[in-house]
Structure 1
Amino acid sequence: MPAVPRRAPRAAIHPDPAKTWLRRAWPLLKAHRALLITSLTLSFAGLIVQVQIPNLVRIGIDRALVERTAGLAGYVWLIAGLALAQGVINYLARLYLLRTAYELEYDLRNIVFSHLMRMSYGFYDRVQSGELMSRATSDIRAVQMYLTFGPSILVQCTIAVIAFALMVSVNPVLAVVAMVTMPMIAVLGVRMRKAIFPVSWLIQSRLAGVATVVDENIQGVRIVKAFAAEQRQVDTLARAADRVRWAYTTDARLRSRWIPVMDNLPRLGLALVLLVGGLMVPRGYATVGTVVAFNSYVLMLQPPFRMLGMIIMMGQRAAASAGRIYDILDTPAEIVDSAEPVTPLPHGELHFRNVRFNYPDGTEALDSLNLHIRPGETVALVGSTGSGKSTIGRLAARFYDVTAGEVRIDGVDVRDYPLETLRDRVGIVPDEPFLFSVSLHDNIAFGRPAATREEVVAAAVAAGADGFIQQLPEGYDTVVGERGYTLSGGQRQRVAIARALLVNPPVLILDDATSAVDVRVEHEIHESLRTLMAGRTTIMVAHRLATIGLADRVLLISDGRVIADGTHAELLTTEPRYARVLAATKEVTA
């Protein structure tokens, strides 16, 4: 089934960080102004209809029931018609408002996700994935809610102005009496929101803590069970839930102080209208219909004044959420294409010249590394943990930029190649392969989505994965579980190798990628590589003799430098440090 093409965001967040968060979001809101203005216009029309209904009730009571100068049926049908019209208008207003909200959310999510996809490894080394998930979900929702529902609430609040103007035109004295309690509701609403706002943030924070505990235990359920730690983790969740309960209880206590007062103030307004109106009707200063209509207006005026406090709270939360989103968007990508990228395709000769590299946390990985790998050569990198072996492959694919020196492929600095070209020509199979929760065919074809089944099968055969895949219930259409945990470690590694082979890169980096497969399968994989893909430059980060023995050359890495170079047999007899490294990894056999 062909993929549905993605609609690009209609606008972007303004890049100037000196602007307020609303001004930076304005281009995005402006791009959807047609839907939003339509919604607000319909909402305002609905309010005009709504305030006419109590006025018709007033006229109907006075003329049909008190003065008996007109029939009641006409007013009944007219009120029913207005109510129906209001329902239709409100339905359309809500429909367009929600469409605006979803369109804004779609664009915001695509803007943030596209930016995250451009970020380098260093960014993800510094930022926790849970924090990114929070900013890409709840923070986006908070901004979306304010940008769409904020204007709608302001329009809803205009009903107070319209209703008050109509009340003044009917009876100025009763209009003032009806409005006496409304400013008090507005003030109390603002104070209530200010009191509840910190607690609301505390609730969100502690809910995130509960979600983190649940997520970690689901992801690490195998570790939990391996150490029989189920009850301990349940206790950890219970403590997190207790903190949430305390926050919710505090929130309920605060609300119980304010809400009863705010709910009863309009009833005080009703009492005042009845009292003053009851005194005015016998004296001819008001009619019975006016008193009834004003009671409806008092109830109609209550929600807008309470909404003012809601807007304040939504604005505070949206401003904080926008700040967190802008922190991501304002972080520039460290690894970008050259202003004048070269066009030749790399073929496989690697040069590392005086390369120094420090990770973002300051850890030194490579120190004046010099390395030359010829096209088609298979090289094994051997060294103790932390010696810098894996870093060499990451720099070749330009996951990071060197701190000093240069990495060249076919004589061209990797920083001069377009990133897409470079990553297409340098394939990496990591030591912890990641599989997506899709079919095995789609996992293998991840780098080439248009690959045919025959091409996928050929790559799987070369990686030694075809045998176990054919034995699965649905073969290549079998959907693997989350992160591929329904497969063994060795099976996941073979699928990851097939994924890299399908792209057919001239440079292949196996970052200890055969550590979880047995020796027989490992030999099958490399024999297939040699037979079917001769001429490929292969770098293997290796710990096992079975892997090292397949290399044309072995490089011993220590403290970020090449300290020995030769075949496995040569190094084993001439380099004591090489033998010690192998002994430390328990790979030397008797």
Structure 2
Amino acid sequence: MKHLRRLNKYFLKYKWWIIPGSIFVIISNIFGVVPAQVIGYAVDLITENVQIYNLFQGFERQEIIYTIFSSNLLYFGLLVILLYVMRGLFLFFMRQTIILMSRHIEFDMKNDIYQHYQELSLGFYRRNNTGDLMNRATEDVNRVRMYVGPAIMYTINTFVLSVLIVWSMFDVNSKLAIYCLLPLPFLVIIIYYVNTLIFKKSGKIQERLSELSSFVQERFSGIRIIKSYVREDYTRNMFEIQSNDYKRDSMSLVKVSALFYPTMLLLIGLSTILTIYIGGIQVMNGSITAGNIAEFIIYINQLTFPVTMLGWVTSLIQRAAASQKRINEFLDIPSDIQSTEPEDKEITGHLKFENVSFTYPDTGIQALKNLNFEIKEGEFVAIIGKTGSGKSTLANLIMRMYDVQDGSISIDGKNLKSLNLKNYRSQIGFVPQEVFLFSDTIKNNIAFGLDQVTDEEVYNAAKNASVYHNIIDFEEKFETMLGERGITLSGGQKQRVSIARALIKSPKILIFDDCLSAVDTKTEEEILQNLGKMMAGKTSILIAHRISTIKNADKILVLDDGKIIEQGTHSELLSLNKRYTELYNNQLLEEEGRSI
């Protein structure tokens, strides 16, 4: 139960649902136990009246006795019906409070988990599969909901009903009650043993389900690659292997449950046999009446429900504990990126790297080594280098997606770590190398970074990104729905929509992470011209592979193996006749080769 303690805050929040719900449970069970006593009296009444009726055989009074007897039976029958109607009414109230509370807790849990996911750094998402993240926020939460709703409801119900029945049994006859309850200790031992098995198997099943979800999500995302390489049969076989593992563990759990319930029913049946045998002896001795035996048999049958529920509830609690343990594992992970400064501050875009080194914690790869450079307010700075030189890592550090291990990054003279994170990022426009668009309209994708935006602002951003004319050619124009990850658009169109999304914010710092690779040279020049107008007096950082893209930059940084090996303007770097010149000459040769 230690894993489920985290739920106490939700129980405290919804205490005014639990308290009346528990009261309704008690009242409903009182109305459930009383009918057994009424039926016991009715059986004794029948026995006595049948004897009296037979004594007056052949007399006129026999008809009067029959009328009184019928009236009494009708009265007792109506009373039992009324008691069960009242029980049903309070059971309805019980479900309307406790089950509805569980849905509210489920809602709160999913929001808390999603909020925590949002706060975790990129490193967390590099280490964990999307399918597993989704499974913990859906399947695991649903299992926990079964604990906070049905499990708690039936636990209270089972406890109250058991106490009332046992108390009623001892109130009638202690000796008979003891014999009837003899099989219960064996049931407790069985439940304890089965609980351990259920807990272990439930945790294993959830792990298998996460693996299966991750597999399916990844294959659906890469469906074009699968079809291109004609690997449908291979992936189907892999899916079948994963499914078989999940089925095997699930069947193992089912077998445990299948053995558990018949065992419980066998013990309940044994109690019924003991009741009839011991009770029959006591009736002959005059200790109890036949009605008491009928009453006891009803109690035993009523105990079948709580005992059966005990097994089911135990299974729910164990599954919920296993799921909550998985949820807690992620909820207990603190974000690598912490922000303690509450004050918002408008930045000007003066960046400074001092002895910055960075190693990815999950892979151990050192991406940047002792970087020192400065970007002044309003400068247009370009970064170039071969693949793996650390360009994208540098952009992520400026965005504070990761924190540096050595050295410091300052913004306007203040350490980046001291700034309010949300406020800082809201003033940055970022276009990633891997474009991601949501399954939404083009308009909403462009306006994603702002809470309120006019149509005119969306249109202007699209024009500045040179994608406006492409959009208005669509039948639905800006209301065109994009497929998953923007699959409806071409590569160049996706990049330009992503650029429009960054430009509409009018950011203080704009970072382009090699996001012009899929557009032609003419479109690239148009975007850069619009960028020059929009970002006049603001800091722009452009990461690129093509020198033609960056030659007009105020400063160019050349990265190699995580180090800055050259920096200066285009002409200054050419005059050095080193790595930048080599890159420039190679690209000229490539362009000449393509033109031939």
Deviation by residue 1:214-264 (Cα, 9 ceiling, x = unmatched): 222111111111111000001111112222333344334444444333222
Q: Which residue is equivalent to 1:575?
A: 577
Deviation by residue 1:249-301 (Cα, 9 ceiling, x = unmatched): 43344444443332222222222323333444455443333222222211111
Q: 1:487: Cα distance to partner? A: 1.9
1:337/1:417 contact within 8 Å kept: yes
Deviation by residue 1:92-133 (Cα, 9 ceiling, x = unmatched): 101111122122222222222222222222333334433333
Alpha-carbon distance in structure 1 between the residues aligned to 2:116 and 2:249: 35
Q: Match for 1:27: what amino acid?
A: K
Alpha-carbon distance in structure 1 between the residues aligned to 2:221 and 2:588: 30
Q: Match for 2:375: what amino acid?
A: I
Q: 1:463: Cα distance to partner? A: 1.0
| Unaligned ranges ≥5, structure 1 | 1-18
Deviation by residue 1:395-446 (Cα, 9 ceiling, x = unmatched): 2222222223222333333223221221122211101122222222221111
Q: Which residue is equivalent to 1:47?
A: 29
Matched position secondary structure for 2:336: coil
Does residue 465 of structure 1 match 2:467?
A: yes
2:465/2:499 contact within 8 Å kept: yes
Deviation by residue 1:373-408 (Cα, 9 ceiling, x = unmatched): 233332221101121111222222222222232223
Worse-superposed segment, 98-107 or 189-198: 189-198
Alpha-carbon distance in structure 2 between the residues aligned to 1:368 and 1:242: 51
Q: 1:35: Cα distance to partner? A: 0.5
Q: 1:497: Cα distance to partner? A: 0.9
Q: 1:502: Cα distance to partner? A: 1.0
Alpha-carbon distance in structure 2 between the residues aligned to 1:491 and 1:238: 38
Q: Which residue is equivalent to 2:201?
A: 199
Matched position secondary structure for 2:426: helix
Considering only aligned residues, what root-mean-square deviation do their CA atoms show, in Å?
Answer: 2.7
Distance 1:231 1:580, change over 3 A: farther
Deviation by residue 1:125-182 (Cα, 9 ceiling, x = unmatched): 3344333333333333444433444443332222112112112222334323332333
Q: Match for 1:48: what amino acid?
A: I
Alignment of 1:27-426 (within 5 A): 27-64=9-46, 66-67=48-49, 70=69, 71-158=72-159, 159-339=161-341, 344-361=345-362, 362-426=364-428
Q: Match for 1:240: what amino acid?
A: Q
Alpha-carbon distance in structure 2 between the residues aligned to 1:253 and 1:24: 31
Deviation by residue 1:335-354 (Cα, 9 ceiling, x = unmatched): 2335485x542122322222
Distance 1:34 1:225, change over 3 A: same
Q: 1:528: Cα distance to partner? A: 1.8
Alpha-carbon distance in structure 2 between the residues aligned to 1:452 and 1:587: 46
2:24/2:94 contact within 8 Å kept: yes
Q: 1:547: Cα distance to partner? A: 1.8
Number of equivalences:
571
Q: 1:440 aligns with which of 438, 442, 446?
A: 442
Matched position secondary structure for 1:503: coil
1:36/1:148 contact within 8 Å kept: no
Distance 1:536 1:588, change over 3 A: farther
Q: 1:207: Cα distance to partner? A: 3.1
Distance 1:421 1:257, change over 3 A: closer
Alpha-carbon distance in structure 1 between the residues aligned to 2:253 and 2:109: 31
Alpha-carbon distance in structure 2 between the residues aligned to 1:460 and 1:558: 35
Q: Match for 2:39: what amino acid?
A: V
Alpha-carbon distance in structure 2 between the residues aligned to 1:564 and 1:385: 16
Worse-superposed segment, 226-235 or 258-267: 258-267
Distance 1:116 1:252, change over 3 A: closer
Alpha-carbon distance in structure 2 between the residues aligned to 1:440 and 1:212: 28
Task: Tell me the TM-score normalised to structure 1 length.
Answer: 0.89
Worse-superposed segment, 225-234 or 545-554: 545-554
Alpha-carbon distance in structure 2 between the residues aligned to 1:586 and 1:144: 64
Q: 1:546: Cα distance to partner? A: 3.8
Q: 1:498: Cα distance to partner? A: 0.9
Deviation by residue 1:23-53 (Cα, 9 ceiling, x = unmatched): 5443332121110111111111111110112
Alpha-carbon distance in structure 2 between the residues aligned to 1:426 and 1:528: 18
Alpha-carbon distance in structure 1 between the residues aligned to 2:342 and 2:266: 70
1:564/1:575 contact within 8 Å kept: no
Distance 1:106 1:250, change over 3 A: closer
Distance 1:410 1:53, change over 3 A: same
